[in-house]
């Protein structure tokens, strides 16, 4: 291999890594120029009502939401791609994340649901061929980057959440603290009130899951608090996907519920626990618990800062 080829290979390796850690430069809109309201001709008469999903909006619709409708909170809810037993599709975390973050945004009223990241910390397997994952370091870089991009876009509160346990709580906490400290220092240096905040909302995952486990125990159903557990692809996950799929049947293979249990043979099932008693009713309760816990914590986090900022 000659020197040119070696150098070219190193450049191809280093440049993406450097770009991932470099603050965003001016882009199509010209970040340093004052913003201007889009002309009326940029808005469609056919815009759907109650739009809260960033990726389903046009840029003028996002602009209007941020600058004229008070939707200044960006919700980043990560998903994950992993084996979820023979009864659940591999993208279950993404399916649940998209529905959950949309519901959270609608209930908050001042937020937009950002696109769900489909990969989170996990490791692929030759046997359980449904998992594609990131490392915690890569997730941290991505969360940092998309948060900064959302701030440039005009959002004032960035909320980090996750549907998959990989990286929680450490990665999310570290990124949120790093950025919160950065914007606090920037405000101090400029002798002004801090107007940008980054938070980690953990109740949507840890607290909601813990309390739903208590509910399962109270009903004498398998939970992660006792054996056989239902911590992965068990009752909470399978039930939620049953609830979200409606009559489509796209997310679960209900004929396989009898084998939705930790395998005792030589081939693992991909289930950690017992999901055989999953139901739509339990899925709705699990889903509503996550949404309500997230909304409550996000309101608490942002209310504390808003109160502090109003003080003279």
> Confidence band (pLDDT; 50, 70, 90) for 305?
low
Q: Report the pLDDT value the prediction gives residue 264, as an integer from 0 to 100.
A: 82
Tell me the per-residue pLDDT of 116-167, one tens digit each, with 9 for 90 and over: 999 999 999 999 999 999 999 999 999 999 999 999 999 999 999 999 999 9
Q: Report the pLDDT value the prediction gives residue 62, as an integer from 0 to 100.
A: 98
- Is pLDDT of 32 > 70? no
Which value, to the nearest 10 degrees, does the dihedral of the CA atoms of residues 85, 91, 93, 99 take? -130
Q: Report the pLDDT value the prediction gives residue 156, as an integer from 0 to 100.
A: 98
Tell me the per-residue pLDDT of 54-97, one tens digit each, with 9 for 90 and over: 999 999 999 999 999 999 999 999 999 999 999 999 999 999 99
> Confidence band (pLDDT; 50, 70, 90) for 53?
very high
Tell me the per-residue pLDDT of 194-240, one tens digit each, with 9 for 90 and over: 999 999 999 999 999 999 999 999 999 988 655 445 578 999 999 99
Asked if residues 215 and 255 have their Cβ atoms less than 8 Å apart, the reply is no
Q: Who contacts 26 (Cβ-Cβ below 8 Å, separation ≥6)?
A: 32
| 236 vs 2, residue with greater confidence | 236
Asked if residues 113 and 105 have their Cβ atoms less than 8 Å apart, the reply is yes
To the nearest whole number, what is the mean pLDDT of the chain?
Answer: 89
Q: Report the pLDDT value the prediction gives residue 198, as an integer from 0 to 100.
A: 98
Say how many CA atoms lie within 13 Å of 204 toward its Cβ: 30
Q: What mean pLDDT is predicted for residues 184-195?
A: 97
Cα distances from 149 to residues 94, 116, 117, 146, 174, in angstroms, run: 22, 15, 15, 5, 18
- Is pLDDT of 185 > 80? yes
Handedness of CA 14, 150, 289, 173 (dihedral sign): positive
- Is pLDDT of 28 > 60? no
Q: Report the pLDDT value the prediction gives residue 239, as an integer from 0 to 100.
A: 97
User: Is this structure's pTM higher than 0.85?
Assistant: yes
Q: Report the pLDDT value the prediction gives residue 33, as an integer from 0 to 100.
A: 80
Q: Report the pLDDT value the prediction gives residue 189, as an integer from 0 to 100.
A: 97
Q: Is 119 helix (H, G, I), strand (E, B) or coil?
A: coil
Q: Report the pLDDT value the prediction gives residue 152, as an integer from 0 to 100.
A: 98
Which residue is it, tokens 């489909």? 118
> Confidence band (pLDDT; 50, 70, 90) for 4?
very low
Q: Which residues are paired to 159 by β-bridges? A: 75, 199
Lowest-pLDDT range, 96-100, 180-184, 260-264, 280-284?
260-264
- Is pLDDT of 294 > 80? yes
């Amino acid at each position: 291999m000659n020197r040119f080829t070696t150098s070219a290979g190193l450049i191809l390796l280093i440049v993406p890594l450097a770009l991932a850690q470099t603050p965003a430069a001016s882009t199509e809109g010209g970040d340093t120029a004052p913003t201007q309201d889009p002309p009326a001709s940029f808005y469609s008469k056919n815009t759907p009502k109650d739009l809260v999903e960033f990726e389903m909006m046009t840029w003028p619709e996002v602009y209007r939401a941020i600058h004229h409708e008070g939707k200044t909170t960006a919700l980043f809810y990560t998903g994950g791609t992993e084996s979820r037993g023979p009864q659940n599709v591999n993208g279950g975390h993404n399916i649940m994340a998209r529905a959950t973050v949309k519901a959270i945004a609608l209930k908050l009223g001042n937020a937009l649901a950002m696109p769900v990241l489909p990969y989170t910390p996990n490791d692929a397997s030759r046997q359980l061929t449904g998992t594609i994952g990131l490392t915690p370091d890569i997730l941290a870089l991505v969360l940092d980057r998309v948060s900064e991009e959302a701030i440039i876009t005009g959002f004032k509160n960035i909320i980090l959440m996750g549907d998959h346990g990989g990286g929680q709580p450490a990665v999310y906490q570290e990124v949120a603290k790093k950025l919160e400290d950065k914007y606090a220092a920037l405000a101090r240096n400029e002798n002004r009130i801090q107007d940008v905040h980054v938070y980690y909302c953990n109740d949507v995952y840890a607290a909601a899951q813990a309390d739903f486990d208590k509910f399962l125990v109270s009903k004498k159903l398998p939970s992660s608090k006792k054996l056989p557990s239902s911590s992965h692809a068990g009752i909470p996950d399978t039930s939620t996907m049953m609830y979200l799929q409606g009559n489509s049947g796209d997310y679960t293979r209900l004929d396989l519920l009898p084998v939705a249990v930790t395998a005792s043979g030589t081939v693992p099932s991909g289930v950690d626990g017992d999901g055989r008693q999953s139901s739509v009713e339990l899925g709705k309760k699990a889903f509503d618990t996550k949404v309500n816990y997230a909304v409550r914590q996000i309101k608490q986090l942002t209310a504390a800062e808003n109160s502090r900022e109003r003080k003279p």
